[in-house]
Amino acid sequence: MAAIATASTAGQTVIERIAGWYTSTMSPVPLHLVEHPLVHDALIQLRNTATAPPEFRSAANRISVLLAAEALRDVPSVSTTVETPLGRADGRAVKGDVVVVPVLRAGLGMLDAVLELLPSARVGHIGLQRDEATAIASKYYSKLPSNLADSFVLMIDPMLATGGSAAAAIDLLKSAGARVIRMICIVSAPEGVALVEQHHPDVVIYTPAIDKHLNEHKYIVPGLGDFGDRLYGTA
């Protein structure tokens, strides 16, 4: 992905270069499986039925920070120089607008962790409710920042099950002008990954796990249960 961000196209911003690369690419963007051992340490704690809500929230925070760091590897940055107590130091700083969009309600459990990495990020919210009988997602809330066309958008949703909610949320982001979108999720199902890649092959998914399948109730197996219920102690 670093090669995309550094491609030389005169007169274009980094966001425009990344968006242009996606437009000219015919094959789906590869899924990024995150293999960091600390990610998987947090994941196994989240899966464990013996993990109580306080420990669940702590593990969710840890894994969210690590996944966000992976997804933001190619966020636009610029060279800069600062004064340390002992002299001048060269380095790089994030440059450009980053927008974090949790999918309600479970995505809120990942938001604070991402903002620890990027306190200056703007935040939008998308509320989608899945019909338990049909598994079809319907929108009940959407509040997005302006000027998403020039933003690096990070969508956060812990569970990618059928993919219907994710695809609908991405539809809303693109309708609002977003061109560069990353998605992080903690557990995925093959069905959900396939649906997002079918409808939005330009959106890169970062996840540490693709589980076996969905059950008859459209829950991920083996998964970790209902993320929101376990996070807030409402199971």
* Residues labelled catalytic: 130, 134, 226, 229
Considering all CA atoms of the chain, what is the largest pairwise distance in Å, rounded to the nearest integer? 64
| E strand intervals along the chain | 32-33, 77-84, 87-94, 97-104, 122-123, 125-130, 137-143, 151-156, 159-160, 180-184, 187-188, 204-207, 213-214, 220-221
Q: Which two tokens stand for residue 218?
A: 């459209």
| Burial label, 180 (beta-carbon count in 10 A; 0-12, 13-18, 19+) | buried
Q: Which among 31, 15, 72 is positioned nearest to 7, based on CA atoms?
A: 15
Judge whether 103 and 153 are in contact, CB under 8 Å. Answer: no
| E strand intervals along 131-179 | 137-143, 151-156, 159-160
How many other CB atoms are there within 10 angstroms of residue 52's CB atom? 10
Q: What is the rounded CA–CA span in Å between residue 84 and residue 155? A: 35
Judge whether 212 and 222 are in contact, CB under 8 Å. Answer: yes
